[in-house]
Structure 1
Amino acid sequence: MKLYAISDLHVRAPENREALAQLSPHPDDWLIVAGDVGEAPEDLEFAFETLAPRFRQLLWVPGNHELWTLSQSPSAPRGEAQYQQLVDVCRSHGVLTPEDPYPRWPGEGPPRIIAPLFLLYDYSFRPDDVPEQDAVNWAVESGVLCADESLLFPDPYPSRSAWCAARCEQTRKRLEALPSDCATILVNHFPLRRHHARLPRIPRFSIWCGTRQTEDWPQRFRAEVVVTGHLHIPLTFWEEGVRFEEVSLGYPKQWRHRRTINEALRQILPATTPPSPTPIYRG
């Protein structure tokens, strides 16, 4: 029995939809889908209808793209309501979400709990001398502006930062209540540490990549592995005894000439690579 992970499937791209249909079955294994499946509930429907028959169990966390509200209708769900709609889609397919009890890993090895997290970001992945209210302008100065600024609404919270704070507080309490004899597999779409948001071509995009509130969570909550996506830079690296896995597929131009979707699927458990002082890039 194995635990696999992948993120950033972006199934609205026809090549990605076709690739997903070619993913080999793993009927005895679990799969983490770490966000950015698509931009609408029907994208999740398509992905889960394709993946659920091929794996014993799916787990999902939202990325920023799933939280976009594309409709201009005043009645279209936004923010928390949009997220809850996605959770309902997951549950209709038997997919575990951040709103469900954290499952114990049933495979071989020591006790482990898989914790799907939804934490968002709060613009704190910025230089210390840039105030939060200036963070977006600081990014725009370099020619970078995330579409979240016009498509990801925080309703009913007053801001994305406030929504992020509420999610972090709620999640922290759940993680603190876990049995102390269990290691964890922490799963979040965004990196948990600021210096992990490395984007060489668009470095100031980092403000949309996480929150400093989670900086100590890998150690504090006994993480054996931290699984994330969002950066579209798939790699494995170790830090303070914790293995970090960025598991994104990305857009067709980012992966089609380098690997197949089956090669993009990352095995999380059992571990397949020994600790290394340098990152192992998977692109």
Structure 2
Amino acid sequence: MLLALSDLHVSYTENRKLVELLRPGSDDDWLLIAGDVGESIDDIVWALDTLRRRFAKVVWAPGNHELWTRRDDASALRGEAKYSRIVELCQAMGVLTPEDPYPVWRGPGGPAVIAPLFLLYDYTFRPDGVTTQEAALAQAYKEGVVCTDEFLLHPDPYPTREAWCRARLAATEQRLAALDPELPTVLVNHYPLVREPTRILRYPVFAQWCGTEHTADWHLRFRAAVAVYGHLHIPRTTYHDGVRFEEVSVGYPREWQKRPAPPALRQILPTP
């Protein structure tokens, strides 16, 4: 089967134990990881290396936490340099990244191109009635709901996070457009490709750190059989324009420990 999970946050002891317990159902299972494995390079490598030894193939797309640089971070890498270093380490382990050729899943429910995406966000998921990025950010600060990215996610060498997002959008769109038009895709991105899933957020102003309006039609344009994402820490299945969207996050211990059942691998293909 093609399975998925995201937001492992292995800096938490409870989440690290969950990763230690994860096992595939068969030797042929692939695992898609939609970002936020951890923050330090050591944690990220530990988790991905643990999982790639168990699953036939592991495919990773970065979240925002992988890109954080704290003052006490031993690597001191920022922005694109940190992302590139994680990609280099993944490739050495055999973990597929957004910088690798997209693999084709040929197991049950296939064939389908697996496309791990790295797109970031550009502050276009704004509160209703707010028309500018400046006004959206001002409202967030006024409400006291500001993403930690504002302090720890550095866009170097780009001038802003939204500029980095624009560059990633252009490069990724070109790659997706070049795919075999006869094959469906499984799009794996840390953030939802459409705005609708963010409507459920307790603090709507936080949505500006949750994606970009520029991907609103990608699930249709690029023939998505399934769109996999995380970030919201609200695991569920929804449908948009007839396409299945799977939010597959584990989340923080304080969140998942309140749920009726512990986090589990989500089946992506074949369709459950």
Scaled by the length of structure 1, what TM-score is found?
0.91
Show the 5 A alignment for 1:132-171: 132-171=133-172
1:260 counterpart = 2:259? no
Deviation at 1:115, TM superposition (A): 0.4
The letter for the 1-side match of 2:192 is P
The letter for the 2-side match of 1:70 is R
1:276 alignment counterpart: none
1:69 alignment counterpart: 69
Contact 1:41 1:89 in 2 (8 A): no
Distance in 2 of aligned mates of 1:165 and 1:49 = 31
Alpha-carbon distance change, 74 to 8 in structure 1, aligned in 2, over 3 angstroms: closer
3-state secondary structure, aligned to 1:32? strand
The letter for the 2-side match of 1:138 is Q
2:5 alignment counterpart: 6
Contact 2:110 2:270 in 1 (8 A): no
Root-mean-square deviation (Å): 1.6
2:125 alignment counterpart: 125
The letter for the 2-side match of 1:260 is P
Alpha-carbon distance change, 243 to 70 in structure 1, aligned in 2, over 3 angstroms: same
Deviation at 1:110, TM superposition (A): 4.7
1:48 alignment counterpart: 48
Contact 1:199 1:205 in 2 (8 A): no
Question: Where does structure 2 lack aligned partners over 5 or more consecutive residues?
Answer: none
1:191 alignment counterpart: 192
For residues 204-258 of structure 1, give each alpha carbon's deviation from its aligned partner in whole angstroms, at most 9, with x where no partner exists: 1000000001001000111110000000000001122210000000011111243
Count residues with an aligned counterpart.
269
For residues 73-110 of structure 1, give each alpha carbon's deviation from its aligned partner in whole angstroms, at most 9, with x where no partner exists: 89821111010011112112210000000111121345
Question: Where does structure 1 lack aligned partners over 5 or more consecutive residues?
Answer: 273-283
Alpha-carbon distance change, 43 to 198 in structure 1, aligned in 2, over 3 angstroms: farther
The letter for the 1-side match of 2:170 is E
1:275 alignment counterpart: none
The letter for the 1-side match of 2:4 is A
Alpha-carbon distance change, 129 to 48 in structure 1, aligned in 2, over 3 angstroms: closer
1:18 counterpart = 2:17? yes
1:115 alignment counterpart: 115
Alpha-carbon distance change, 257 to 24 in structure 1, aligned in 2, over 3 angstroms: farther
Alpha-carbon distance change, 90 to 239 in structure 1, aligned in 2, over 3 angstroms: same
For residues 176-213 of structure 1, give each alpha carbon's deviation from its aligned partner in whole angstroms, at most 9, with x where no partner exists: 00011010000000011122213432111000000001
Show the 5 A alignment for 1:244-283: 244-258=245-259, 259-261=261-263, 264-272=264-272
Distance in 2 of aligned mates of 1:260 and 1:73 = 31
Alpha-carbon distance change, 184 to 197 in structure 1, aligned in 2, over 3 angstroms: same
Contact 2:57 2:95 in 1 (8 A): yes
Quick one: percent identity of the two aligned structures?
55
3-state secondary structure, aligned to 1:5? strand
3-state secondary structure, aligned to 1:69? coil
Distance in 2 of aligned mates of 1:236 and 1:116 = 19
Distance in 1 of aligned mates of 2:73 and 2:10 = 24
Contact 2:108 2:269 in 1 (8 A): no
3-state secondary structure, aligned to 1:268? strand
3-state secondary structure, aligned to 1:97? coil
Deviation at 1:55, TM superposition (A): 0.5
Distance in 2 of aligned mates of 1:192 and 1:124 = 12
